[in-house]
Amino acid sequence: MLLVKGEKMKITLLNCPMWATREPPIRVAQVAGVLRSKGFDTHCFDINNYLYKNRSDENKNLWAWEQVVFWGRQENIKEYFNENKEQLDFITETGKYFERVYPSRSYCAIEQFSMLHEHPEKFGIKTPFNHHLYWETVDGKNTYPVRLNRCKRFEQKCHELGVRVDVGVQTNVDMAEFFNLGLYYEYIKDYEKAKYYLNKYLQLDPNNEYINKKMEEIKEKS
């Protein structure tokens, strides 16, 4: 659910996979009816059927109930939907209905007691993982920089469409990227790349005490 506060509260309800494709999203419609009766500007999108109808015939069997496990494996989703192309297509088609979006800048953190945390092997996540942000898949195709880039591309598309992008902490987008990648590469002990990104950060904020101290620590390690 995306909530937007303007002249009138706008609410967008999404019906996501996987659900039966021969049945209308009754629950979404019921919720929408209640919200509209209360004066909310409400829109509904059936992503489930949108994706189903835009698949080739040989892939439509993925909506069979016995395929429910498929939708829980992240590497399947990535391969099937070609990175975040589907997200970009979706926001391109529906962006006119959104005033703002709120993408997560944690880029899919693995929270304790979550399904991802308790059963990483089911999602193709490399184990052991010692960081809730910097995990990667066994095939190496889904890493922290990859997820960061997907979010960046999504935000760029939103800006092109005139959709406002909100974040929890207001900061320079480039600085946030350089900071995050600098710390990531320090964590995986790629100190040259860590220094590269933190140096780019310092070009924008040369007096940042924390980053300058971090640079000294990395130089000692390398």
Express each pLDDT in 81-132 by its tens digit. 554 566 667 777 777 777 788 777 778 888 888 888 888 888 889 998 889 9
- Band (pLDDT 50/70/90 cuts) for residue 43 is confident
Would you state the pLDDT for residue 198? 96
Task: Return mean pLDDT, the chain.
Answer: 81
Q: Beta partners for 46?
A: 15
CA distance 96 to 63: 29
CA distance 35 to 3: 12
pLDDT in tens, 122-153: 888 999 888 999 999 998 888 999 988 888 88
CA distance 169 to 125: 29
Residues 103/154, Cβ–Cβ less than 8 Å: yes
Q: Beta partners for 161?
A: none
Would you state the pLDDT for residue 2? 45
Instruction: Write out the two tokens for 14.
Output: 């999404």
CA distance 76 to 74: 5
Residue 127 Cα distances to 18, 113, 154, 185, angstroms? 28, 16, 28, 18
Cβ neighbours of residue 176 under 8 Å, at least 6 residues apart? 105
Would you state the pLDDT for residue 188? 93
Residues 159/91, Cβ–Cβ less than 8 Å: no
CA distance 132 to 126: 12
pLDDT surpasses 70 at 80: no
CA atoms within 13 A on the CB side of 166: 10
Which of 63-67, 114-118, 128-132, 216-220 is least confident? 63-67
CA atoms within 13 A on the CB side of 175: 11
Which range has highest mean pLDDT (1-5, 45-49, 74-78, 197-201)? 197-201
Burial label, 182 (beta-carbon count in 10 A; 0-12, 13-18, 19+): buried
Residues 210/198, Cβ–Cβ less than 8 Å: no
Domains plus CATH for the chain?
Answer: 1-72 (3.40.50)
Read off the pLDDT of each residue in 66-71 and give the average, rounded to a whole number.
68
Q: Which of 83, 91, 25 is nearest to 52 (CA)?
A: 25
